């Protein structure tokens, strides 16, 4: 049995989120939480919140034991890109892409 949690439209690029995601994949929930608390990345705070949400889903919706949970699957995919304009010299305008991410986190019970 597995429980999922989704984080959509996170205003951090998927490339930056992927660094944090790779740190917790396959770890048990307690270890993953400790890693996220000590990681000085902007994506670690929303990922910690998402992990807590997945654990709560597992506990409340599927009656899983929190002590046996581990992060079985976690990935970040690109969301919509917010396109902005930056004024440049001689009246030109350069495009600035503000990227967003959709993150999926799945926790499962160890057998």
pLDDT in tens, 12-62: 999 999 999 999 999 999 999 999 999 999 999 999 999 999 999 999 999
Alpha carbon distance 45, 12 (integer Å): 12
Quote the pLDDT of residue 1. Answer: 87
pLDDT in tens, 65-84: 999 999 999 999 999 999 99
Alpha carbon distance 51, 62 (integer Å): 16
Alpha helices in 1-111 (DSSP H): 14-24, 29-38, 44-62
pLDDT in tens, 81-111: 999 999 999 999 999 999 999 999 999 999 7
- Is 71 exposed, middle or buried, given 0-12, 13-18 or 19+ CB atoms closer than 10 A? buried
């Amino acid at each position: 049995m597995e429980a999922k949690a989704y984080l959509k439209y996170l205003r951090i690029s998927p490339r930056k989120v992927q660094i944090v995601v790779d740190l917790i994949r396959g770890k048990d929930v307690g270890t993953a939480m400790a890693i996220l608390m000590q990681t000085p990345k902007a994506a670690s705070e929303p990922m910690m919140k998402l992990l807590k949400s997945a654990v709560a889903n597992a506990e409340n919706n599927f009656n899983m034991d929190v002590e046996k949970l581990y992060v079985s699957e976690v990935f970040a995919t690109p969301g919509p890109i917010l396109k902005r304009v930056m004024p440049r010299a001689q009246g030109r305008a350069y495009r600035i892409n503000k990227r967003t991410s959709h993150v999926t986190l799945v926790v499962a019970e160890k057998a």
